[in-house]
Structure formats: C-alpha cells, structure tokens
Amino acid sequence: MTDLFDHRQVRRAFSRAAHGYDGAAALQREVGARLSETLDYLDDRAPEVVVDIGCGPGHAAIAMQKRWPRAQLIALDLALPMLQETRHNAGGGGLPRFLGGARRPDAVCADARALPLRDASVDVLYSNLCLQWVEDLPAVFAGFRRVLKPGGLLLVSTFGPDTLFELRGAFAEADNTPHVSLFPSIAQFGDALIAAGFKDPVLDRDEFTLKHDDLGDLMRELRTLGATNAMRERRRSLTGRARFARAAQAYEALRGGDDGRLPATWEVVYAHAWGPQPGTPIRVGGIDEVQVPVAKIPIRRRT
C-alpha cells in the first residue's frame, strides 16, 4: 500500500509548530474537552495505564494525570518538540516526579501506527485529532486493539471530509494539485473500528464554523497549528502569488454573514469503543456485523 501522507512532513510540521501551537489551538482544546466527557464512564474504576496518542503539548494528558493521580499516564507523540512542550506544561523543569501524590506523564516519542507498548497493557487509550494523518485506519485500530486490555476504553476523534471544504474548493480554482489533506468519512471510521473487532462502538460528529479575515489569515493559522498539506502528491514548490491570488479570489465569493468574514468549516468525528475479550474474532458478518447509516448519526453544528 502506498502511503497517502508523507509522515516525515507530518513530523516536521508539528515539530515546527510546537512552540506556538497553544496560541492557535482553541478548536483542538474544545474538541478535546468534548471528547474527554466520555471519561465519566470510568469514574467507578481507576485505570492503571492511560495513553494519550498524538498528545501535542500535553494538556489532555496532564488533565487525565490529575484525574487519576496514581495511574501511569503515557503522553505519546510523533514530534519530539511537542513532548518537550508537554514536559514544560507538566512542570518538568527540574521538579520532582511526584507532586502531591500525582505522577507526571511519561513522554514517549513514537508513531501511532507502531505503538511501542505491550499487548493488553492499556486501560484507556485516548487520541484527540491525530488519526486524520493516518491513511490505513483498520491497521492502526488493529494496533490499538492489541495494546488495549479487554474491557478497556478507546476514545478518539478525527477530522471528517467536510473539513476545510471551502479552502479545498478555492484552491481547485487555482490549479489541479491537492492543497488540503483528505480526511476519512464517519462511515469509514466506523467500518475500521468494526473491522478491528472493537466492542460496542459509538460515533458522533460536530461541525464547527470558524471565521477569518482573509485567506492569508487562515493559512497562517494552519501553519501555526502544523496543519499543513502533508499529502505525498502535494506541490513541493511554493504556491506562487498568481495561484494564491486566484484561490483568494475564489474564496472571496463565500464572504458574508453578519460579520462579513470568510468561513472555514471543521467537521469532527468522535468515537468510543471497548476492548473485546481475548480471542474475539474480527467481526465481518452475521449477527456480529454492525452497520450505522450515516443519516442516523446526529450532527451538532457549532459556530
């Protein structure tokens, strides 16, 4: 299988973005807060091992460490500078490992596609807005199932295909090269969970509409977030003033609303599921097959 994404570019983009990421990541924090609401399902049992995959600057990992102070919390990210931000945000500048009975998260630099964790060793596996950079969802979910204990909780979010559709359409007016990464649909996400054999998957989605002064404002925010185009077929040279101007002109047709600004849509897919019992087969048909019509999945639109 040929990779859709250039994962070295993903690592580079998020490494460059690490220091300024927090200043532009309001949406990411909001999605993380909504995703974390599902952790209430575990309030009656304290997990021993919790892993935050694609932890970024570590805010969710730190919050979960405070929630479960005796748990081993592993903050895992592909970009080492993000883990350095996690350590800084956790008070890692020479402070003791235990503070008031709570541990600091353990930082691990690794790829979500190849987790360096033991089989059936994790009670909670959490991943907020990381999986949109993975092209083979069934394979990565198989890896997640491997490390999750039976009855353990998988809690993930990703961007859906309507994300930045305005930007994709504007650049399509400028040239034929993809400028916006492709994202999986909610149906693909659910199918991948089922294929990996997860138990009782539940999916939901939101749509957020953020506003920007112009195309340049949006592009600067994306660079600050590290959310640049990482597709292998992306243009390797600079976009150029003429192409950018054509894209900006196409985007201007969308300006409107009460504030007269440009919209940028972000579709977010959420899912939680449970680790199956040992020996549970991959569910491919019969009574175990689960199909969720997209029309039946609620959409919450936020502005």
Residue-wise pLDDT tens digits, 174-210: 876 766 777 888 999 999 999 999 999 999 999 999 9
Q: Which CATH number fits domain 7-164+180-213+268-302: 3.40.50.150, 3.90.1150.10, 3.40.50.2300, 3.30.1490.270?
A: 3.40.50.150
pLDDT of residue 101: 52
pLDDT number for residue 7 = 60
CA distance 39 to 20: 28
- Residue 24 banded pLDDT, cuts 50, 70, 90: confident
At 99 the pLDDT is 44
CB proximity list for 266: less than 8 A, separation 6 or greater: 27, 159, 163, 164, 207, 208, 209, 210
Average pLDDT over residues 271-283: 80
DSSP 137: H
d(CA 17, CA 11): 10
CA dist list (Å): 261 to 107, 139, 174, 201, 215: 40, 40, 21, 38, 10
**pTM for the model:** 0.84
- The pLDDT tens digits for 143-162 are 999 999 999 999 999 999 99
